[in-house]
Amino acid sequence: MEADSRIGRDQNCSMLSHLSFQWPGLAFSVFDTVPMGVTAVVVFMNRLTMIGEPAEFERIYAEIGKIMSARPGLIRFRLVRSTKEADVYFNIAEWESQEAFQDALQTPEFRAQFEQLLPIIKGDPHVCEVVQEGLPAVHA
């Protein structure tokens, strides 16, 4: 396995990290941005187990993503699917404050979309605090 890691800067982010991996027959790159001057205070993680159709879940989640992206205090969110359990997803959202997170959950737009999720997922939500974080070391 070969790995190449670089960290650079752009106009919108304090750091742009680039990590590339190559295995025989497989290569991928990951770009990860850290918004300028923003530190997550609240991390919301939710293990979501499908009891309905994944395509319907992803459609609704995309709508929720649009709603949350417009909310003040959101740093970023990610929806990832387990490679170990095909019916398991993880929602990971970073917020500037507990208040911003709670305010976002109270909007009528979010609540309407969330109601549509209830019949198709079983959630295991956790509000977390950041204990440690890091970026890949810079390699010459």
- Res. 92: pLDDT tops 80: yes
Domain boundary assignment for the chain: 1-37, 38-128
Q: What is the pLDDT of residue 85?
A: 96
Q: What is the pLDDT of residue 140?
A: 52
Higher pLDDT, 70 or 22: 70
Q: What is the pLDDT of residue 132?
A: 84
Q: Which pTM does this prediction carry?
A: 0.68
Contact assessment for residue 21 and residue 2, using Cβ atoms and an 8 Å cutoff: yes
Q: Which element (helix H / strand E) includes 47?
A: strand 42-50
Q: What single DSSP character describes residue 138? A: P
pLDDT (tens digit, 9 = 90+) per residue, 31-72? 344 455 556 688 999 999 999 999 999 999 999 999 999 999
On average, the pLDDT of the chain sits at 78
Evaluated on CA atoms 117, 77, 129, 139, the torsion sign reads positive
The two beta strands, 121-128 and 88-95, are unpaired
Backbone phi and psi for residue 109, each to the nearest 5 degrees, phi listed first:
-65, -45
* 3-class secondary-structure state, position 100: helix
Q: Regarding the domain delimited by 38-128, which CATH topology (the fold level of the hierarchy) does it fall under?
A: Alpha-Beta Plaits (3.30.70)
